[in-house]
Every structure is written in structure tokens, then in C-alpha cells.
Structure 1
Amino acid sequence: MQFKSIILPMALVIGQTLTVQCAFAQDPYAEPGDWDPSLRHPLFEQANDLIQGYVDLGSFTGTVFVQQGGETILHKGYGFANEVQWVKNDRRTRFAVGSIAKQFTAVAILQLMEQEKLKLTDTLEQYIPGFPNGNKITIHYMLTMQSGLAEITHLPAHWENRYTELSADEHINLVRGAQALFDPGTDFRYSNTSYLLLARIVELVSNTQYEDYLRENLFKPANMTSADVLDPTMYEHYLARGYEIFDGLVEGRPYAKNTAFGGGDLQMTAKDLYRWELALKDGRLISQATYDLMHTNHIENFGYGIGVAPLADGSPSHYFGGGGHPGFSSSNYRVQDTDTTIVVLNNRGNNKAVFMSYQLLQLSEGLAPTFAKPEISLPEQNVQRIVGNYTATNTRWPTSVELFIDEGQLHGKYTMPWAGSLPVWQYVAHSQLEFTEQYWGGFTRFEEDENGAITGFNAEGYIYVKDPE
């Protein structure tokens, strides 16, 4: 009897241990540190604390993946994938990744180039006629944002049809007759139009639907088991819903299928993006020579579908992508020399993913990142001097913002020429001069002159000057 009384507790302990380990075994992305904290990377706590700071402020929910030198620093979900059904984000959650999709369209084009089915010197006119300068716009110019084509997302017809399911050709027709912005190859202008057309060229040359081409030639060889083309009608347990912060938290209305064709219409997990980086690096998708061409800084720190830039101190180049979709933002960084990959996927509808990725990059390089700042309450008279109209000085398009006080809180209303007035969003204060706006999630620091008068502000590198009163 005594023997049996000892066996029973031991069996319970063993059973509990097996239950915990079996639960983790069901997760294909499980890490040893999940059940043994001593096996976690030395930087895990710092990275987790950095992200948790944004979660606690209500400005981030999503999944984060950080790996360096083959060792996982952090791979974890935060907050909810579905606020209504209380489904939490975890490693298996899929997110809309926005313009990160451009990397995939670029690689599809480069594969067809390697197969000698097209040339980078081929012109748009050869495949899709009827565009201004179509006989001068090369595939290279479209890949590097030098086409000069009108930007489809700046056209009223695009905004009017973004919730209507149109074919790729119907979207192309929306922009076909629009006036060119500049002669091909003479300037740089970010272009969703170019990647819409490049994706259609992939279909025409391969005689395969774009989504089928990606599944067979990119996702499958890269072992991206959860990646696919966005379907706004799909509701699945591991598919995150995107949320916007306006007057409270509301679910973002997704664009109709094909609205972001070729340039922003994919969904995947954070680990999928890491596997994408591995497949590119080890030659499963394109040759080393083509990889180098893709990651060359052709113009304005841009390669083929991906950003290319040195770090602030001029040390190893890093490659980066970012994207936005209603209710989502995303970012992926790759530092080749240190074998570092950082992926941040956010379903809280602001642009925190990019800023958080850079902070994690600082942490991985042994630098001290800027952690999320606590919110403070300021008397209204302290905020009153900020009120006024401001104009951007270093953006490619004229952008203005009116800052005003409503119910004691600072609010901003931005106006952009292609989209008109954007929804009003609130700022939260961290000090007398430091704020975070709650839509994009950008950190804003106001500048003052020697008399204490506000002269402008810096919003994550975008400089705004206060208009004369």
C-alpha cells in the first residue's frame, strides 16, 4: 500500500510533464526554451521586455521572430489574433504582410529571367500595351521603382474600387490612361503600379495564375507551409484579423481580392518569412549571381522588391522590407554578415512593426535600444502651444497635418493629396515634447526655439514645420 501511494503522485507528475511536452510537440514551431527557461537565448528577456512594453501600451499585438547565427533569440505571439473569439496570436498565426509581397513578385520575375523566358531589358509595351512611355519602361525600371508610371493608390478610381473584387486586368485598366510622372529611369517613385504589372507579366510569361506560380515555385521549395495569397473572405483559427485604432479598437475592413495584386496580397507566419530568407540565401530559388543582383542598391537604397542600406555606422549592409494592409503592418530585416533575421508582424493597424524591428536590430548588435516610453498626463495649457498647422518638408508628396485639442487630448488630422483627409487620431504624451500618435504608432518629438515656441516636429525622420499663424 505504501508502495502504491508513492507511485500515484509520481505518475501524476510524469503525466503532467508528458502533457506539457505533448502540448508543445503539437506546435511545429516549438522551442526548447518553452519548457526549460534555462535553454532560452541570453537576449530573450531583453527582447521580450522590449516587445511587452508596446503590448502594455496597447500599441502592439502580433508575432515576433528574431534569430542570429542559427540561434533563436525570440519567437513569440502577443495579444489576440481575433479579439471577438479570444484567439491569441502565437507562432502559427498568419498575417497580411502588405508590401513585403513585392519581394516575391521580384523573385518570380528573376526566376523567369534565369529560365531565359524574359529579359530585364524587355519593355512593358511587349507584354501589356497602352501605357505612356510603355516602349521605354523596362522590367528593370519597374523592379526598381523608376518606371514613372502613375501610382494606382493615388487615383480616386482605386479608392472607389478597393472593396470591389476586380480582376488584375481591370485594376490595370484603372491606371492605364493616367499621365506619367516622369521619364523612365530619370527618378525614383515608390510604385504599386509597377508591381501590379510585374505580377501580370509573370502570369503571361509562365502561362500560370500568379497565386499558383507562387505556391509551386516559391512557397513550396522554401517550405513556407502557411504562406498563401490573401483571401478577405477566409476565416480560420490561425488567420489574424486586422484591427484599427480610431475611436476605440475596430476591425479593419480588408481590401477585396486583387486590390493589392502583386504588391501587397500575401499572408504568412513570421517563421515563413524566415524560411523565405533561408531559401533565398541557400540558392533554392535563384542563383547567387541573381541574389546579388536583387540585393544591389540600384537607386535610393532599393534593390529588386527590397530595401538595401548600410547600418548607421557604415557596417554590414542590411536588407529590409515592410508593408501595411488594413489593420496590419509588417517588417523583415536581414543582416547578412551577422546572420540576423528579424520579423515583426502586427495586427494592431499601426506602423510599429518597422520601428520595433529596428529596435530589435539594435539589441541584436549589442546596442541599447530605445524602449517604449510610459504614457503621462499633461495639463491642457501645456499642450496648447503645440496646436496649429504643420507642413512636411522632406516627403515626396505634399502632406499637411492639423493638430488640435479635443476633450483635453492632442489629436491630429493628416491630409494627403491622393487620399484626402485621413481619419483623426489621438496622440499620447511621454514628456512635454515627446508623443506617440496612435494610428501609425510613430514616435513624434516636437522642437522649440529659444523662447519656448514650437517650431515643428520630427515623426520618425519625417520633418514637419509649423505654418505661420
Structure 2
Amino acid sequence: MKKSIMNSMFVAKQVAVAIAVTVAFSVSNAYAQVQKEVTGKLDGYLGAHLAQGTFSGTVTVTEHGKTIYSRGFGMANYEKQLPNGADVKYRLGSISKSFTAVLVMQLQEQGKLNVQDKVSKCLPDFPNGDKITLHHLLSSTAGLPDFVNFWKGVNTTPATIPDILALVKDKPLEFEPGSKWKYSSTGYVVLAQVIEQVTGKPYEKVLARQILKPLKMQSTGVELSEPVKGLALGYNHDGLDRKPASPIDMSWCNAAGAIYSTPTDMAKFDAGLKGNKLLSDASKNQMFTPVMKGYGYGWVIDSVAGQQRLSHSGAINGFKANFIRLPESGIAITILSNYESQQVNGPISRDVTAIVLGEKYQVPVVHTLTPLSDSQLAAYVGEYQVAPKMSFKVTLQDGQLFAEGPNNDVFQMFPEAEDKFFLKVAPALITFERDAEGKIAKMLMHHGGRTMPAARIN
């Protein structure tokens, strides 16, 4: 009797193990199938943008620290035919602000500063330093003019922090600190000066000691005036042909935008933020709490598909970047591009996130460029009115057609056929209608499933 019971228990255990193995195998297969589908969709989507000239770079996706997608598109150096990939270095642009914010929070934990400190406590001679706090600098609520608006003509030679701040130090505040929000890189250069003051070390040394070395981010650093080995070349492909981006000395970007990294290293940064290796939960909660307009301390805080999203984008000569963290699902998405494509931080980052989360996304259409003669293009030149105080001006310059919007935004129009044009700055089409005499009478802008007509007024 006892032996029979024992045999029954043994059989039951074996059956339970078999069921568990079968379930695990089924779940594993299902996960693999989902991952395969995501990979196929991302490959097709990003490949279309590559073919269109609106993306060149690398996209990496991790889930709970495990890489589930990582692929390079196009070349890191088109002249030498060096491919993009997860270990290629790219300029991060303003994603640098996220790193700087972490440094400030670490120094607060070390008792070397407090985010409620006035700037004058560390920098006694700073204009309006008695009004502005580190909190204001971190959250873009200080009212400081953005130095980027004044660096034209000087940003190709090396600069120090005083050189940068000299562009705005004599300019009045744009609003009372804490009363409004306006994105400004100036605050993060001031924070770099604060960091250097309280630590007695250069910003890049503090970054290496407090973030890069602990996380073993060996391919990340601050690009100043010296060339960085392994850095992708930046390009502009807004026109007909790909061309090198305008030169810039990255010392002008400093703590606001001079960090470079690889997709592999950015995954390490995400992992470091998940635990308490960099910051305590209290510090992270403070950093990730929106102050105004969904902006915290160096991070944009919003939601997507019902879950919190922590992110920041970057844009600097020849490069666009986006770093997206979804703490609830453990997903991190890094999009680093060596094209100045305006679609990277708009449609591409939105659609890549949607693909990863299984949401709807817009499939990019690869358009075929069909050259038109100057006389054909000249037929479209004119002003087109959308509303009484809103119009678009179409101009012809050096054989290229451009449209200027109400906010003085200028974008090139690429002919796909007569009366049909596509854009590279956004997934949009522009078509034209003619009157009974064959003259252009109306312009129609098609974007996001909607059509906006504009009648020609001259």
C-alpha cells in the first residue's frame, strides 16, 4: 500500500514537471515569436527610413537588462564605408543633461550642495544668482536666455565655461525664476560650473568618477576640442544629397550637450538607474518628478501606452538622439543617428516605441525622386493661404523647391511626380491642384491621415 502511494506520488511529480516544462517551452516559444515579429517590424521600418535618407544610425532595445534588439543602419563613415552598430560612438546632444542631473543629485546625497541652494552660494558673481536656485537650473525654470541662440559665428573654435556664459551674462532674465518654463541649455552650463566649484575637479573628471567608471561605460565621455576615436561622422541629408554636417567645436556644448556614447553603454546607464548604484530611490523620485511642462531634472516625464516614460532627446550638428526608459516594463530604447534627420526625435522615436510595445505605428513610405525642370518647378512658386492669418510661401532656389511656414520654418519639397511632392522633415505629402487653364490653384498638405488645403493667392 505504502509503495503504491509512493509510486503514485512519483508519477504525479513527473507529470507536474512535464507540464511545467511544456508550459515554459510554450511561453519561451511565444516570447521568441513576439521578439521575431518585433525584429521584423523594426528592420522593415528603419530600413525604409534608411532608403528614404531620413535615418542612419543604430537602434538598441533592452528589456530588464537583456538586449532584445540591436541593429545598425547605414554607415558611421560613408566615405570609408564603416557601418553603424551598437559599439559605434555618437554625439548625444542634450541627453547630456540627464547625466548632469544625476551628478547634481549625487552631490546632494554627498552633502556638497542642495538643489534649493541659490546659485550665488557657489558662484557669488553670477548675475541674478540670488534669485536663481539649482532647482531652477535643473528644471529649465530659471529664465536664463539660451546661449545657443547667440553662438552663431563663434562656435567653431574652443570655448571655456566663462566663454559660453559671456554670451548671455549681460542679457536680462526672460521671466522671474520659477514662474515659467522655457527650455534653455544655459542652466546646465551653469550647473557644470557649480559642479566644478564644489568638487574642485573638471566636469568630465567628475562624470567619469561618479557615473562612467562605476558602470564600466568605457566608450562614453565628454567631447571637447580633441577628436574622439571611433566617433561616427555626422551628416545632413535634408537635401537631395548626403553631405557632411556643419562643423562645431563641442567644447561649446559642455555639460548641456557634449557627451558621446554608444548604444551598448547607454544600456549600462539604464541598468545603473534601475538599482541604487547611482542614486537612492528618494533622489530618483525627486529627479523624475515633473516641475513644469512635464520636465523634471534633466528628464522629460510623460506616459505612453498607459505607462510612465522617462526620456530625453538630443540634437547637435550631424546627430540626433533619443533615450527612452519605461520603468514599469523594464524596457529601454536607445536611438542614435548620425543624420540630422528631423524625423528621429519625432515620428521615428514614436513609432519605434509603438512597435516595441505592440501599438499602432505609421509605416514609412519610400518615395521615388523624380527630377523636374526649373520651368516645371517655377509653376508652383507663390503664396498659399490656409486661413486669414496663415499662409505658406513656396520658393525656388538653385533648382530646389522650398516651403516657408507661418513660423518661418523652411523645408525642402522633393518631387515624386508632377504636382506631387514629399518631405523629409516629416512623413508628409504635398500635392497641387490646377484650374481649368492648367495653372496651379491650390496646395494640399497631407499628414497623419489629414489633408489641409491652401488656396493660391498670387
TM category (shorter chain) comes to 0.7 to 0.9
Within the candidate set 169, 188, 196, 1:176 is matched to 169
Equivalence for 2:185: 192
Q: Do structure 1's residue 88 and structure 2's residue 79 form an aligned pair?
A: no
Q: Do structure 1's residue 353 and structure 2's residue 348 form an aligned pair?
A: no
Equivalence for 2:13: none
Within the candidate set 196, 200, 213, 2:206 is matched to 213
Equivalence for 2:358: 366
Q: Residues of 2 paired with 1:390 and 1:353: CA distance? A: 29
Q: Secondary structure at the match of 1:350?
A: coil
Q: Do structure 1's residue 435 and structure 2's residue 422 form an aligned pair?
A: yes
CA deviations 1:256-285 (Å, max 9, x no partner) are 142001110011101211111110111111
Q: Which amino acid aligns with 1:350?
A: S
Q: Residues of 2 paired with 1:338 and 1:128: CA distance? A: 42
Q: 1:455 to 1:209 in 2, by over 3 A?
A: same
CA deviations 1:39-81 (Å, max 9, x no partner) are 9744211111111111111221111101234443310111111
Q: Do structure 1's residue 153 and structure 2's residue 136 form an aligned pair?
A: no
CA deviations 1:5-33 (Å, max 9, x no partner) are xxxxxxxxxxxxxxxxxxxxxxxxxxxxx
Q: Residues of 2 paired with 1:299 and 1:338: CA distance? A: 25
Q: 1:460 to 1:270 in 2, by over 3 A?
A: farther
Percent identity of paired positions between Structure 1 and Structure 2: 23
Within the candidate set 90, 107, 131, 1:112 is matched to 107
Within the candidate set 292, 296, 319, 2:310 is matched to 319
Within the candidate set 148, 151, 155, 1:162 is matched to 155
Check conservation: 2:50, 2:74, Cα contact below 8 A.
yes
Q: Residues of 2 paired with 1:283 and 1:90: CA distance? A: 29
Equivalence for 2:246: 253
CA deviations 1:101-127 (Å, max 9, x no partner) are 000111111111111111111112222
Unaligned runs of 5+ in 2: 1-31, 436-440
Equivalence for 2:94: 99
Q: Residues of 1 paired with 2:420 and 2:293: CA distance? A: 31
**1:64-463 → structure 2 map (5 Å cutoff):** 64-155=59-150, 158-234=151-227, 236=229, 238-245=230-237, 246=239, 248-311=241-304, 315-354=306-345, 355-376=347-368, 387-388=382-383, 402-405=393-396, 410-412=401-403, 425-427=412-414, 435-437=422-424, 441-444=425-428, 453-454=442-443
Q: 1:169 to 1:409 in 2, by over 3 A?
A: closer
Q: Residues of 2 paired with 1:466 and 1:132: CA distance? A: 50
Q: 1:381 to 1:425 in 2, by over 3 A?
A: closer
Check conservation: 2:442, 2:456, Cα contact below 8 A.
no
Q: Secondary structure at the match of 1:263?
A: helix
Q: 1:136 to 1:458 in 2, by over 3 A?
A: farther
CA deviations 1:292-327 (Å, max 9, x no partner) are 11111221011110111122x5x1111111111111
CA deviations 1:142-198 (Å, max 9, x no partner) are 11110001111112xx21210011211221122111121011111111011111101
Check conservation: 1:121, 1:139, Cα contact below 8 A.
yes
Q: Residues of 1 paired with 2:120 and 2:391: CA distance? A: 37
Q: Do structure 1's residue 57 and structure 2's residue 49 form an aligned pair?
A: no
Q: Which amino acid aligns with 2:297?
A: Y
Q: Residues of 2 paired with 1:192 and 1:55: CA distance? A: 30
Q: 1:445 to 1:132 in 2, by over 3 A?
A: farther
Check conservation: 1:375, 1:430, Cα contact below 8 A.
no
Q: Residues of 2 paired with 1:327 and 1:213: CA distance? A: 27
Q: Secondary structure at the match of 1:77?
A: strand
Q: Residues of 1 paired with 2:193 and 2:456: CA distance? A: 44
Check conservation: 2:323, 2:332, Cα contact below 8 A.
yes
Cα deviation, residue 83, structure 1: 1.5
Equivalence for 1:29: none
Q: Which amino acid aligns with 2:362?
A: T
Cα deviation, residue 427, structure 1: 3.8
Q: 1:221 to 1:464 in 2, by over 3 A?
A: farther
Q: Residues of 2 paired with 1:464 and 1:299: CA distance? A: 35
Equivalence for 1:7: none
Q: Residues of 2 paired with 1:292 and 1:382: CA distance? A: 55
Q: Secondary structure at the match of 1:147?
A: coil
After superposing the two structures, state which structure 1 stretch, 379-388 or 195-204, moved more: 379-388
Q: Which amino acid aligns with 2:96?
A: A
Q: 1:309 to 1:61 in 2, by over 3 A?
A: same
Cα deviation, residue 371, structure 1: 1.7
Superposition RMSD in Å: 3.7
Q: Secondary structure at the match of 1:358?
A: helix
Check conservation: 1:131, 1:177, Cα contact below 8 A.
no
Q: 1:272 to 1:160 in 2, by over 3 A?
A: same
Cα deviation, residue 248, structure 1: 2.4
After superposing the two structures, state which structure 1 stretch, 42-51 or 130-139, moved more: 130-139
Q: Secondary structure at the match of 1:343?
A: strand
Q: Which amino acid aligns with 2:80?
A: Q
TM-score normalised according to structure 1 size: 0.78
Q: Residues of 1 paired with 2:222 and 2:37: CA distance? A: 36
CA deviations 1:207-261 (Å, max 9, x no partner) are 110001101111111221200111454153x310101134622212342142001
Q: Secondary structure at the match of 2:242?
A: strand
Cα deviation, residue 131, structure 1: 4.7
Q: Residues of 2 paired with 1:202 and 1:337: CA distance? A: 32
Check conservation: 1:442, 1:460, Cα contact below 8 A.
no
Q: Secondary structure at the match of 1:267?
A: strand
Q: 1:72 to 1:454 in 2, by over 3 A?
A: same
Q: Which amino acid aligns with 2:68?
A: I
